[in-house]
Chain A
């Protein structure tokens, strides 16, 4: 293919004030300004958002799915990190 590839960007939308930006999808655009414009056209046609982020996809560092167990499994055994692990007498009330 003779044409140059147009970079890929990931799109994040803040649905309402007070919420975090959430991944919505991706788009292709030559630069940041056009990426924002395209993200607006493609992902917010029905009032989906108050704010947009676009990030070059090649700038995202992701964990490897095959490392999933090594990365996340150890927390399964650490039940003492949860409040329900601890016994508080009922008389003490809500804590």
Chain B
């Protein structure tokens, strides 16, 4: 989600030196920027792009998991998965609201998602093939998301930072429920453990891709770091995630699908293989396994909800009209 949101972001801006300097001073003093504060156009544009992509990611992220709600193996798992998917819907709405404080309308944002003009995290263009994938998504995908989002809690833009704090608080259960699913499978039959291993094999690399391109290829990072929209580099967060996650995989008795993964005593962290960047860019640019399905599913939901939105507005108008008429009659 998250750092991928900056791909193609245009931070160019037209303000005077004095204006930019005064703004930078506020940012450097760790003063939060609020909706009506003066801000460079490039800052506004970058944030709208990142926050709305983050919101779209939450909404599209409901699809691969929602697909498993009816097939969860127990009532406990079903209730947890339902709550997780509900949270994602809620998180999408917090984030859309944060984006709207920058002067863009909800309708425009929805339109950008449905027409394919806006991006969302590449991870959701992979399918969730087995129940173990639901475990691996919770553990790895939400784990990677949390790693990104904790860093965003200190973003210079107030509404985004506040939404992130709320989301991080709610999301820690997402990762734990995923890990618990895998733990149960790993303690089960050989076939169940195999299913868990295959899920991790599928989801490990796409999860690492969530942190976005290499720092050297992340062209818009510098300006965003300078404005404190993001505060850590993509590679820095990715390393942190790998270091935190490998011991958790060991505890499960699962193998991380990377023959070059090795502890490096000197840097006190893991060395690992390079990501398949061709795959990364292919998925980001729309050619992943599920890109078309995801957009189609959102378009269908939007189309089929149109009559509800129209009816609700018509009813509200009618009632407001009746109230006005009653007031006029009483006067």
Does any Cβ of B come within 8 Å of A60's Cβ? no
Does any Cβ of A come within 8 Å of B111's Cβ? yes
Is B97's CB under 8 angstroms from A45's CB? no
Q: B60 to nearest A CB, angstroms?
A: 18
Which residues of the other chain, B, contact A31 by a CB distance below 8 angstroms? 312, 315-316, 319
In the complex with contacts A30-B315, A31-B316, A45-B309 CB distance below 8 A: no
Which residues of the other chain, B, contact A65 by a CB distance below 8 angstroms? 34, 36-38
Q: B318 to nearest A CB, angstroms?
A: 10
Which chain B residues (267-320) contact chain A, with CB distance < 8 Å? 306, 309, 312-313, 315-316, 319
Q: B98 to nearest A CB, angstroms?
A: 8
In the complex with contacts A8-B100, A65-B36, A30-B313 CB distance below 8 A: yes
Is A5's CB under 8 angstroms from B105's CB? yes
Q: How far is the CA of A83 from the CA of B27 in the complex (A)?
A: 34
Query: How many of chain B's residues touch chain A, expressed as a range?
Result: 20 to 34
The digit string for B159-194, where 1 denotes a CB below 8 A from any CB of A, is 000010000001000000000000000000000000
In the complex with contacts A1-B107, A1-B111, A31-B316, A45-B94 CB distance below 8 A: no
Does any Cβ of A come within 8 Å of B87's Cβ? yes
Is B90's CB under 8 angstroms from A42's CB? yes
**Residue A62 contacts which of B36, B93, B319 (CB distance < 8 angstroms)?**
B36
Does any Cβ of B come within 8 Å of A91's Cβ? no
Which residues of the other chain, A, contact B108 by a CB distance below 8 angstroms? 1
In the complex with contacts A3-B309, A6-B106, A46-B170, A27-B97 CB distance below 8 A: yes
* Interface of B, helix, strand, loop or mixed by DSSP: helix
Is B94's CB under 8 angstroms from A42's CB? yes
Is A28's CB under 8 angstroms from B106's CB? yes
Which residues of the other chain, B, contact A3 by a CB distance below 8 angstroms? 107, 306, 309
Does any Cβ of A come within 8 Å of B86's Cβ? yes
Q: A27 to nearest B CB, angstroms?
A: 7
The digit string for B36-48, where 1 denotes a CB below 8 A from any CB of A, is 1110000000000
12 contacts between A and B (CB under 8 A): A3-B309, A4-B313, A6-B309, A26-B97, A27-B93, A27-B97, A30-B313, A31-B316, A41-B86, A45-B83, A45-B87, A45-B170
Given contacts A3-B107, A5-B105, A34-B312, 10 further A-B contacts (CB under 8 A): A1-B107, A1-B111, A4-B313, A5-B107, A8-B106, A30-B313, A42-B90, A42-B93, A42-B94, A45-B87
